[in-house]
Amino acid sequence: MNSNSSSKLDPQYPDALGEDVLTIALIGPDESRRNAAGITLAGCLGCDIHEFSSYPPSLDDLPRLLDQNHDVIIIDLDSDQEYALELIESICASGSTTLMVYSAKADSELLVRCMRAGAREFLTLPFSHSTMAEALVRAAARRPAVRPPKKSNGKLLVFMGAKGGTGVTTLSCNYAVALAQESTQSTLFIDLDLPLGDAALNLGITAEYSTVNALQDFSRLDSSFLSKLIVKHSSGVSVLAAPGKFPLVRSSDEAIDKLITVARQDFDNVVVDIGTRLDLTSTSLFKDAFTIYLVTQANIPGLRNSNRLISHFFPAGGPKLEIVINRYEARSLGISDEQITKALTRPAQWKIPNDYGAVRRMQNTAIPLALADSPIARQIRQMARSVNPMPAVPVKKKGFSLFG
């Protein structure tokens, strides 16, 4: 969908639109009809016109159009009548924008369908300057005094492992639970550690559908379809699980990007477990991530792999990286903090204490660590709070005892 913009004035109707300029999106695949509408619009005072030479490719692309907060959207009906009606209904359901339509023919049945879909004005070509100006005056009167804030895409938070067995799934699914618990924001967890991701098992979830369903049918993936695939955990986090069976999965970068785009439109936070999948580094998971958490351990294989990953995928100016050392035991590692920092080429932001018993209980009971109180849980909650700043997690102090 391409656009260009222009703004022209006319001495007629000098104050009718008010002091603020009306921003107008003119969407018309047919160039001659769009030009005719554009010429008439250009003669009206206080209009900033953005012309689009095609319809949005799909309804999933509407948020990008609506994020521009146009006061008026004008759509050509004749290029694809049924799709245009779908656009009208979706746009009118999504905000306070005034929607107008234009057609080369006056069709009373079509007019009724447009009005039912939410259109405010039905204009028939060729329309006069006065007809257009009067329609814009009515649009200006309907414009809210305060524009609603733009809805930004949700934060994308990606967990990857320096090698297998570092505890990426345990940390990422508990982090998602902590986000859902610690804030009022909606949170989605996506298990992309295919084909053997087991976050659902850790959370005690049985899912009818999986990530594979989303990726295989990505051409029809939208908010409604995604909502049918996810399962809501009792903690409040929504989960798109990996499949329970071993599938033959071949997902394209396009499919991954579509899934992430739709997910970020619907959720404030999208947490993704990619395991050790380096085949995803060319997708939006790396390009658009708010934070990538590299999970490693303070041993020679983990630090060696981390060093290679950091130097190759996280150069200066690359995606925001935070290093998480899992199963950290300061006194028994045999590797000093200085040696760890040197190997990683930077300090680790997070050190998750080793507590095999707590992790084992979670795996056996499917009760997330983040819902209990433990040193691990407090660190995970602190990680979650660092994304959406909240008061620090209090550290429990030992009570007074005669026996110290």
Structural domains of the chain, with CATH: 3-142 (3.40.50.2300), 155-387 (3.40.50.300)
Residue with tokens 């991530």: 289
pLDDT in tens, 268-292: 999 999 999 998 988 999 989 999 9
Which bin fits 106, alpha (ψ -120 to 50), beta or left (φ > 0)? beta
366 closest CA partner among 191, 247, 200, 230 = 200
Amino acid identity of residue 28, one-letter, is G
CA separation for the pair 366, 169 (Å, rounded) = 13
Regions of the chain where pLDDT drops below 50: 2-19, 391-404
Q: How far apart are CA 26 and CA 58, in angstroms?
A: 17
| CA distance linking residue 275 with residue 167, whole number of Å | 9
Rounded to whole angstroms, the Cα distance separating 86 from 257 reads 24
What single DSSP character describes residue 198?
A: -
The backbone torsions φ and ψ at residue 58, rounded to the nearest 5 degrees and listed phi first, read: -150, 170
Decide if 17 contacts 141 (C-beta within 8 A): no
Among 161, 193, 185, 204, residue whose Cα is nearest residue 371: 204
**φ, ψ of residue 82 in degrees (nearest 5):** -70, -40
Report the candidate in 396, 347, 394, 368 with the shortest Cα–Cα distance to residue 179. 368
Query: Which pLDDT does position 122 carry in this prediction?
Result: 94
* Helix boundaries (H) for 106-216: 108-117, 129-142, 168-182, 199-203, 211-216
d(CA 333, CA 326): 12
Amino acid sitting at position 273: D
Tell me how far apart the alpha carbons of residues 284 and 114 are, in angstroms, rounded to a whole number.
Answer: 37
Q: Which two tokens stand for residue 217?
A: 């049918």
How far is residue 85's CA from residue 272's CA, in Å, rounded to a whole number?
35
The closest alpha carbon to 245, from 279, 194, 205, belongs to 194
Coil/strand/helix, residue 22:
strand
The amino acid present at 103, given as its one-letter code, is S
Measured in residues, the chain has a length of: 404
Q: Which residue is it, tokens 């190997």?
A: 343
Q: What is the pLDDT of residue 204?
A: 86
Q: Which residue has the tokens 């396009």?
A: 254
Pairing between β-strand 238-240 and β-strand 231-232 as defined by DSSP bridges:
antiparallel
Which residues are CB-contacts of 238 (< 8 A; sequence separation ≥ 6)? 186, 187, 188, 189, 230, 231, 232, 267
Contact criterion met (CB below 8 Å) for 26 and 41? yes
Contacts of 266 (CB under 8 A, 6+ apart): 154, 186, 188, 223, 226, 227
Q: What DSSP element (H or E) covers 84?
A: helix 81-94
Triad 69, 99, 263: Cα angle to 5°: 50
Q: 25, 109, 114, 104: which is closest to 72 by C-alpha?
A: 25
Q: Which two tokens stand for residue 321?
A: 């990286």
b/e per residue 160-187 (b: at least 16 CB within 10 A):
bbbbeebbbbbbbbbbbbbbbbbbeebb
